[in-house]
Amino acid sequence: MRHFYTILTADLSANPPAAREWHALVCPGAPQWSLVVLTDWNSHSEQDTWEAISSVVEHHIEQWGRPVPTSVVTAFGPWGVAATDTLRQAMQKVRAMWPAARL
């Protein structure tokens, strides 16, 4: 299962996730933030430790039908994300520019 997170870029640099596979992208409209797509944590304890970092926000798939947060509009506005998008629509626009953002 894939997990989608945002995290401060500095926190990601200092604390890369302990996972079998992960990809990260600095947000084009807010370079202080990064989007992380992760598959298969090495362990539950490593997942819990990483998710406890104060800047980590997980974007659960069941929330993707909701309106996109303002912070996501700022972060990905250069790629066409608009305030009228749902999070799912925003991720489709991100995926068009960065294929790693696929479910």
pLDDT digits (tens, 9 = 90+) for 21-75: 999 999 999 999 999 999 989 999 999 999 999 999 999 989 999 999 999 999 9
pTM beyond 0.85: yes
Q: Counting beta carbons within 10 angstroms of the beta carbon of residue 81, is it exposed (0 to 12), middle (13 to 18) or buried (19 or more)?
A: buried
Alpha-carbon distance of 7 to 30, in angstroms, equals 11
Instruction: Tell me the pLDDT tens digit for each residue of 10-29.
Output: 999 999 999 999 999 999 99
